Amino acid sequence: MRTLLLFGDSNTHGTVPLPDFGQSARYGRDERWAGRLARLLPDWEVIAEGHPGRTTLHDDPVEGAHRNGLTVLPALLESHKPVDVVLVMLGTNDLKERFSVNAGDIALSLERLVRVIRASEAGPDGAAPGVLLVAPPPIQEVGCLAGMFAGGAAKSRALAAEVQSAAARVGVAFMDAGAVVQVSPIDGIHYGPEANPALAEAFAVAIRQDFPG
C-alpha cells in the first residue's frame, strides 16, 4: 500500500465556513474531502495533515509561529515516511493582509516547499516523494474574515497561473482546485459541503493519472 500525505491548511483540516469570527467547526470525518478521498483510493494510505492558519513559510505574528508550513514539513515527512506522494495545497493564508505578499511570492514559497520535499529522502528506499502541487481556489472578501484578508481576493485570482508555472519549474504535477470548487459566500475562505465530494473525486483522478504506480 502506498502512502499519500495531504499537506494543507484549514480546508484540508475540514473547517466549516465561519458565520462569526471566533467560531470554529469541522466537518465529520466521513464528510471531509480527505476522508472521501481515502475511500476512493483504497490501495493508498491517505494521511491528512491540515492545520488551520498554516502558511507556506511565514511565522504568523498573530496566530503563532507554529503555523509556518516550512518549519513543520521536515518533521511530518520523517514521521510518516516512507511517503510516496505529497499533495500540497497551501497559499490561502498567505493572502492575509498582514503578510503583504503577492501571488508570485506565494508561488515561489510553494516552490520552496516542493524542493524541501524532493530533497527529503522521505520516499520509499530513500527516494524523493512525488508531489501534486495544488492551487487553492480564489477567495472572496466577505463575512467575518473580510478584514483579515483585505486585498487578498485580487491576488488570489492570479494564483493558479503562478502556481502552475512553479510546478513546471520544479517538474511536479499540478492541479487547479479553483476549476473544481469555489469558496463559500459565508466567509469567502472555506468550502461548503458540496465541495467535499467534488474535491475528493478530482484528487482521486489526479492521483491515479499522475502516479499510476
Its pTM surpasses 0.85? yes
Provide the grid cell at 91.
Answer: 497559499
Helix, strand, coil shares, percent, the chain, to 5: 45, 15, 40
| Per-residue pLDDT tens digits of the chain, which is 213 residues long | 999 999 999 999 999 999 998 888 999 999 999 999 999 999 999 999 999 999 999 999 999 999 999 999 999 999 999 999 999 999 999 999 999 999 999 999 999 999 999 999 999 999 999 999 999 999 999 999 999 999 999 999 999 999 999 999 999 999 999 999 999 999 999 999 999 999 999 999 999 999 997
User: What structural domains does the chain harbor?
Assistant: 2-210 (3.40.50.1110)
Residues, the chain, total? 213
d(CA 207, CA 212): 7
- What lies within 8 Å, CB to CB, of 172 at 6+ separation is 114, 118, 130, 131, 132, 133
